[in-house]
């Protein structure tokens, strides 16, 4: 039986993980659940799945949850703060950690799970985007097992022999093809992008996701981050990783081999499919996702990426080639830019402008450990805030 810690249980990945767990009684035990601030939903999850531990981001919320649980007769122990996340990610009794905290906030806990030799189900891009070398060293040196949850990386994993262990050359791989939906603005006239509102940017045509990742999908920064993630997950040269637009989101990614074969993983756009695959690997279990009817899909469409429309993808490739500190800066600047846009303080087209400005001001640095990652991240965030303050908000939709 897998014994689970779910980091970020109240987000979409966490909630879908619990849905898969509930559909497969007797296969999983939930030991710990964590959330930033959503007390009501975490309370509901704790009462249903009865974990030993629950973690919240601040003391007031944690105290409230503990009182509510005690009133309900629950024995779940409530912890608080970043150190508690590390604690529940590395508990001796845990076998599997779902790392689904958005942003760099989840980095230390995911790293702790790798140091503990756990099976790490990685839904947090930032662990590899910001600390790929450090994180993968922990996985190798401590015998952890890393399984990707992003639909694209999970599809690649399924399309590689032994998940790609041994490297791309040894597996006979020519190219990895990451599919991208193109988001809500794939065909929007470029002149109209200046007036894009946060509501429009988060309205993804195929996937139900959080606000930040939905904006990343609209700008295609999510695909740039996935390129960086794939470089570390599969030990692939950046030149081997390409992006192709596939509006239907049915083919989740493809692997092309030296003999001309192309293997792909297909399925309806439902995150429960990769979650179920990783939870039960190498077995297969019910996910709750609808089965794919190819005749109903009818046509599968593929298009090249227009870099002029999606400059964030270009910036991601440039940062990857420039080195680890540039990638950390890219990610930090993007998080600030997206938040500024969602708060209507900058315009949609200011997102890549802000990121490029911050990158141009940053110097390359050696990254040896998580302290280096966090230092570069903090510096980049401060620089991004300064750049955002200097951007004119004229024309930002109200």
Are 97 and 85 within 8 A, CB to CB? Answer: no
Per-residue pLDDT at 322: 95
CATH of the domain at 102: 3.40.50.720
362: nearest Cα among 339, 394, 387: 387
Using one digit for the tens of pLDDT, what is the confidence trace for 370-390?
999 999 999 999 999 999 999
Q: Which structural domain, as residue segments, surrounds residue 22?
A: 2-148
User: First and final CA of the chain: distance in angstroms?
Assistant: 51
Token pair belonging to 344: 């209507």
Q: Would residue 87 count as lying in a domain? A: yes
Q: Would residue 95 count as lying in a domain? A: yes
Q: Would residue 190 count as lying in a domain? A: no
75: nearest Cα among 92, 107, 50: 50
Q: Would residue 183 count as lying in a domain? A: no
Q: Would residue 297 count as lying in a domain? A: no
Contacts of 260 (CB under 8 A, 6+ apart): none
Total domain count for the chain? 1
Give pLDDT tens digits along the chain (398 positions).
999 999 999 999 999 999 999 999 999 999 999 999 899 999 999 999 999 999 999 899 999 999 999 999 999 999 999 999 999 999 999 999 999 998 778 899 999 999 999 999 999 888 899 999 999 999 999 999 999 999 999 999 999 997 777 789 889 999 999 999 998 999 999 999 999 999 999 987 776 677 888 899 999 999 999 999 999 999 999 999 999 999 999 999 999 999 999 999 999 999 999 999 999 999 999 999 999 999 999 999 999 999 999 999 999 999 999 999 999 999 999 999 999 999 999 999 999 999 999 999 998 999 999 999 999 999 999 999 999 999 865 445 55
Q: Would residue 353 count as lying in a domain? A: no
Per-residue pLDDT at 395: 47
pTM comes to 0.91
Q: Would residue 158 count as lying in a domain? A: no
Q: Would residue 46 count as lying in a domain? A: yes
30: nearest Cα among 11, 10, 13, 46: 46
Strands 173-180 and 251-257: antiparallel
């Amino acid at each position: 039986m897998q014994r689970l810690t779910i980091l970020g249980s109240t987000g979409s990945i966490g909630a879908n993980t619990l849905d898969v767990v509930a559909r497969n009684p007797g296969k999983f035990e939930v030991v710990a659940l964590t959330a930033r601030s959503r007390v009501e939903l975490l309370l509901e999850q704790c009462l249903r799945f009865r974990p030993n531990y629950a973690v919240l981001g601040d003391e007031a919320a944690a105290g409230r949850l503990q009182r509510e649980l005690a009133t309900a007769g629950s024995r779940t122990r409530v912890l608080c703060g970043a150190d508690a996340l590390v604690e529940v990610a590395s508990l001796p009794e845990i076998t599997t950690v779902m790392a689904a905290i958005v942003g760099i906030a989840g980095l230390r806990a995911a790293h702790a799970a790798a140091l503990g030799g756990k099976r790490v189900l990685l839904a947090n891009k930032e662990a590899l985007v910001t600390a790929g070398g450090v994180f993968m060293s922990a996985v190798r040196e401590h015998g952890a097992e890393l399984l990707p949850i992003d639909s694209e990386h999970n599809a690649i994993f399924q399309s590689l022999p032994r998940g790609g262990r041994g490297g791309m050359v040894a597996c006979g791989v020519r190219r990895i093809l990451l599919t991208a939906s193109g988001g809500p603005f794939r065909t929007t006239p470029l002149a109209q992008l200046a007036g894009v509102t946060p509501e429009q940017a988060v309205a993804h045509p195929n996937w139900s996701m959080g606000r930040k990742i939905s904006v990343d999908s609209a700008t295609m920064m999510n695909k740039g981050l996935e390129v960086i993630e794939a470089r570390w997950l599969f030990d692939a040269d950046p030149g081997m990783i390409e992006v192709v637009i596939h509006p239907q989101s049915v083919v989740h990614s493809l692997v092309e081999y030296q003999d001309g074969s192309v293997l792909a993983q297909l399925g309806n756009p439902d995150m429960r499919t990769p979650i179920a695959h990783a939870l039960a690997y190498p077995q297969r279990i019910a996910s709750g996702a609808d089965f794919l009817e190819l005749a109903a899909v009818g046509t599968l469409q593929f298009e090249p990426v227009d870099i002029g429309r999606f400059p964030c993808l270009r910036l991601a490739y440039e940062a990857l080639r420039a080195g680890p500190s540039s990638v950390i800066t890219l990610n930090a600047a993007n998080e600030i830019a997206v938040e500024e846009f969602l708060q209507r303080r900058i315009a949609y087209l200011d997102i890549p402008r802000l990121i490029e400005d911050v990158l141009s001001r940053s110097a390359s640095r050696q990254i040896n450990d998580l302290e280096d990652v966090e230092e570069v991240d903090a510096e980049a965030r401060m620089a991004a805030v300064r750049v955002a303050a200097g951007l004119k908000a004229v024309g930002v939709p109200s």
